[in-house]
Every structure is written in structure tokens, then in C-alpha cells.
Amino acid sequence: MRKIIVQKFGGTSVADTEKIKNVAKTVIREKENGNDVVVVVSAMGHTTDYLVKMAHDLAPNPSGREMDMLLSTGEGVSIALLAIAIQAAGYEAVSFNAMQVGIMTENVHSKARIVDIKTEKLRKNLNEGKIIVVAGFQGVTEDGEITTLGRGGSDTSAVALAAALNAERCDIYTDVEGVYTTDPRVVPNASRLKEISYEEMLELAHAGANVLHPRSVETAKQFNVPLRVRSSFKLDNLGTLIVGVDKMEIYKPVAGVAADSSQARIVVCDVPDKPGSAATIFSKLAKENISVDMIIQSYPRKISNTNDIAFTIDSSDLAKTIATLDGIKADLNCGEIKVDDNIAKVSIVGAGMIDRPGIASTMFETLAEQGINIRMISTSEIKISCLVDKDKAQQAVKALHKVFELECDEVAEVKGTLPDV
Ligand code: ASP
Ligand code: MG
């Protein structure tokens, strides 16, 4: 049986017709290798941002349904153009949107999860020898409503398609050469990782490494899809392979450092110290589909029998979070709600830190030496994150990258910009 390769090209790779021609060549090259090819594309360049801006010019808080209707049009343009470019080069190609394929999602607007992908139409067209171009980022509910998977969601579309089709590999083409130990724009001698585990990549993606949509890595891990991040321009460079941790040799305790400046911290002050307080806050936020990251509850104050609950969210959810908390303030019987979005989360990630003491203390000492104050700390088995002032984030990344010996001798050659996720 022929192997299926899923390729994904982001907005910068299809930003204009010249670039689309270039993508067509890369697609054809894979087809010429004797593989069946399914290509997933994002909207051209900054189309999605532009569409978002237009909607916000009309309304401060446009409805989720209409936003999804609007944003899904971006990918509609790029799939047809790429199919035209492939056909013009003499190959058979067909484009499909999510509705035509049957990329089924839950009934949630703006960050729906994929629940199922129908493969009949895809298999039929692959068997006819066609290259298939599928719209990333979008899905459809059982009722035929259009949804989107969240900004940067085309990566997830690609991995989910690879899983559904039992593909040999999913190649994410981008304008950087792979996954680096940190953002090479901040640290020019960051090293490219040849391999990284799903677990580490997932933590890095959540920690703000803007290379892959976190959910795409989750899906790859769940279905064991080998994932490669590679350059659209340097086709002979194999980029970074993302695989299971069991398949890797681990040399260093820390694999990468990342910063996420798109976070906001909320402190709900004077929350009664009794069962159900935290449940009230976080179940309401969950109902609104707001993801919470770090959570800290302070030690209770004796006289008032209250404590403070602090947590972080993505800044894009800030308005919704404040509205939600205002709605439960009376029920909760809490005090003031404080908001601070002048913060950033800096994280170190590595499967090699398991059972190796001293990594956290090295991180804290390094930040202290730089005079950087830590506002919150959270940890997982393979990650330590510190919340710091936003204007200190880059300094923190540089110092941590150095202390954990992640630099390489050469200065990384970085063309273009990292994709926005
Ligand atoms: N076009 C969408 C976005 O800009 C999806 C993607 O690029 O992956 O977020
Ligand atoms: Mg992207």
C-alpha cells in the first residue's frame, strides 16, 4: 500500500501566489516520492488577523457563530488557490473544506475540538491519484454549523487528519527550521533540536513556544503520529522530529526555555475559606470555556477566615473572565478582584529533570541573580514555570538558556519570523 504523508503549510508559506507556487512544488515533490499526499493549509498571510480586525471594527464582542463563519473563509481562499497551482503544474488536485470532508467538531465556537474525521471521500480521491488540499482550522458540527479550532488550529487539523488516515508522518512546514531550545529571535545562538518528545513539546507549546498549536501535539501523542517541524524553504533540512519519550536518549535535564507574554493574572481576594469556593470560581470559568493555567491559593487569614485565590489565564479571555467573575462575586461573597496583565510566564522544560534534584533551585537562583522577582511558581514533572514582570521576560529567557547550557556554537540562521499562534 502507498504511504500517506500529511503536509501542513502555515499562513506565511502561502502569503502570496509566488509562495503558493513554491508550496505546490514541495507538495509535488512528496507525490513524486511515491506517496499519497494530503495537504492542509492556513489562510494567506495575516488574513485571519485582518478578518478579526474588521469584525471588531463593527462590534466590541462579535458573536462566536459569526466569527467562525467569517474566519473560516480565509482558509477557503488558500485551498482553492493551492489546488489551482498544483493543477497548473500538471498534477491532479482537489480542494475540500471541513464540511465537505466531514471534520466533525463539538458544538463550541472559536475553539472547538475535533471529535471525528470522515475518511471515505479522502480515500476515494487519493485512490484516484489526486493530491488533496484540505482547509485547516475549521470544522463542522453535527447540525452543520461551521466552527473553528482556535487560533493556530491548522496544525491540529493536519495532525488529526494524519491520525484518521493512519498516515506515515505529519510534516509541519514553517519558516523556521525546526524547534529550537528557545526563540532564536531572543537568543541568536539557540540550538535546533533534532528530536524532542511529545511530552516536552507539549509543555513548551503551552509555555509559549509559538511553533506548534498545543492541541496538535496532544493529538499526535494520543495517536502516536510522528510529527516533523521543518522549513518550507530548506527542503533538505529535516527539521525537528517529535516522537514518544521512550524513543529518545536524554542527555540534558532541560530541553528548552520559553516565555509566554499573553497571560494575565487574576487575584480573587478574601474568598471565604470553606468547601466549594474554588469549585464555584473554576466551574463557572470552565462553563465559559476559559482555560486556567497557574493557580495559587494563599494560606487562610485567621480573623476573617478568608484566603486569596490567584490564577492566570490567556489575555484573550480577560474580558470574558472579568464578566464571569463579576457575575458570581455576590454568591462567592469575596472581596476585590485584581487584574494584572503586565506579566509573562517563563518556563524551563525537559524530560531529563525527572528525579534530578537542583533544577528548580538553579532556575530560582538564576532569576535572583538577574534581580528578577518571581510572582508565582508552578511545576509539573517536566516543567517549572515562573511568573515574572513582562519587561523582564527576555532577560530571564537569556539567563536560563545560558545556565542550562543550551547554546550552540553557531548563530542560528533565522529567516522571516516565527508563525503567530
Ligand atoms: N488561520 C488561522 C489563524 O491565523 C489558523 C492557522 O493559521 O493555523 O489562526
Ligand atoms: Mg500557525
How far apart are the C-alpha atoms of 12 and 9, rounded to whole Å? 8
CATH of the domain at 284: 3.30.2130.10
372: CA distance to ligand 2 center in Å?
Answer: 31
Burial of 397 (0-12, 13-18, 19+ CB in 10 A): buried
Please tell me whether residues 393 and 330 are part of one structural domain: yes
For ligand 1, what atom is nearest to the CA of residue 149? Answer: 5
Output the residue whose Cα is nearest ligand 1's atom 6.
Answer: 152
Output the residue whose Cα is nearest ligand 1's atom 8.
Answer: 152
Within 10 angstroms of residue 417's Cβ, the number of other Cβ atoms is: 11
Please tell me whether residues 263 and 235 are part of one structural domain: no
211: CA distance to ligand 1 center in Å?
Answer: 12
Question: Which DSSP symbol is given to 181?
Answer: S
Whether 169 is in a domain gets the answer yes
Q: How far is CA 347 from CA 52, 303, 340, 383, in A?
A: 30, 36, 19, 7
151: CA distance to ligand 2 center in Å?
Answer: 8
Domain stops at, among 218, 248, 278: 248
Identify which of 79, 148, 154 to mutate to test ligand 1's pocket (most ligand atoms within 8 A of the CB).
154
Cell 490567556 identifies what position?
Answer: 314
Residues near 8 by Cβ (< 8 Å), separated by ≥ 6?
39, 40, 41, 42, 136, 154, 155, 157, 158, 170, 171, 172, 173
Q: How far is CA 286 from CA 202, 290, 317, in A?
A: 21, 5, 12
Please tell me whether residues 284 and 229 are part of one structural domain: no
Residues near 419 by Cβ (< 8 Å), separated by ≥ 6?
10, 11, 12, 152, 174, 175, 176, 210, 211
Output the residue whose Cα is nearest ligand 1's atom 9.
Answer: 151
For ligand 1, what atom is nearest to the CA of residue 419? Answer: 7
Note the pTM of the prediction, 2 decimals.
0.81
Whether 408 is in a domain gets the answer no
210: CA distance to ligand 2 center in Å?
Answer: 8
Please tell me whether residues 239 and 273 are part of one structural domain: no
52: CA distance to ligand 1 center in Å?
Answer: 11
Please tell me whether residues 333 and 187 are part of one structural domain: no
Give me the tens of pLDDT residue by residue for the chain, a chain 421 residues long: 789 999 999 999 999 999 999 999 999 999 999 999 999 999 999 999 999 999 999 999 999 999 999 999 999 999 999 999 999 999 999 999 999 999 999 999 998 999 999 999 999 999 999 999 999 999 999 999 999 999 999 999 999 999 999 999 999 998 788 999 998 889 999 999 999 999 999 999 888 787 888 899 999 999 999 999 998 888 888 899 998 887 777 778 999 999 999 999 999 999 999 999 999 999 999 999 999 999 999 999 989 999 999 999 999 999 999 999 999 999 999 999 999 999 999 999 999 998 888 999 999 999 999 999 999 999 999 999 999 999 999 999 999 999 999 988 655 554 444 433 3
Taking the CA of residue 128 as centre, how many other CA atoms within 13 Å lie in the half-sphere pointing to its CB?
12
Q: How far is CA 406 from CA 99, 104, 190, 257, in A?
A: 44, 41, 7, 9
How far apart are the C-alpha atoms of 164 and 134, rounded to whole Å? 14
Please tell me whether residues 54 and 175 are part of one structural domain: yes
318: CA distance to ligand 1 center in Å?
Answer: 21
Q: Which ligand is nearest to the CA of 46?
A: 1
| Of residues 96, 43, 108, the one with CA closest to residue 73 | 43
Please tell me whether residues 160 and 290 are part of one structural domain: no
Whether 416 is in a domain gets the answer no
Q: How far is CA 157 from CA 7, 23, 24, 83, 170, in A?
A: 11, 18, 19, 18, 11
Please tell me whether residues 163 and 183 are part of one structural domain: yes
Residues framing ligand 1 (Cβ under 6 A): 10-11, 42-43, 48, 74, 136-137, 151-154
For the chain, what is the domain count?
2
Whether 419 is in a domain gets the answer no
Query: How many helices and strands, by DSSP H and E, does the chain display?
Result: 12, 18
Measured N-to-C along each axis, helices 277-287 and 318-332 cross at an angle, to the nearest 10 degrees, of 140
Please tell me whether residues 158 and 286 are part of one structural domain: no
Identify which of 40, 67, 71 to mutate to test ligand 1's pocket (most ligand atoms within 8 A of the CB).
71
Whether 421 is in a domain gets the answer no
10: CA distance to ligand 2 center in Å?
Answer: 5
Identify which of 134, 149, 151 to mutate to test ligand 1's pocket (most ligand atoms within 8 A of the CB).
151
Tell me how far apart the terminal alpha carbons of the chain are, to the nearest angstrom: 35
Within 10 angstroms of residue 403's Cβ, the number of other Cβ atoms is: 17
Residues near 127 by Cβ (< 8 Å), separated by ≥ 6?
none
Q: Which domain range does residue 98 map to?
A: 4-248
Helix (H) or strand (E) holding 304: none
- pLDDT, residue 419, reads 39
How far apart are the C-alpha atoms of 137 and 152, rounded to whole Å? 7
The answer to whether residues 14 and 20 touch, using CB atoms and an 8 Å cutoff, is yes
Please tell me whether residues 284 and 355 are part of one structural domain: yes
For ligand 1, what atom is nearest to the CA of residue 150? Answer: 9
Whether 92 is in a domain gets the answer yes
Domain stops at, among 230, 248, 266: 248
Output the residue whose Cα is nearest ligand 1's atom 4.
Answer: 48
Please tell me whether residues 208 and 343 are part of one structural domain: no
For ligand 1, what atom is nearest to the CA of residue 157? Answer: 8
Q: How far is CA 166 from CA 93, 176, 416, in A?
A: 21, 27, 33
Cell 471521500 identifies what position?
Answer: 121
Domain stops at, among 248, 283, 301: 248
Please tell me whether residues 367 and 398 are part of one structural domain: yes
CATH of the domain at 122: 3.40.1160.10
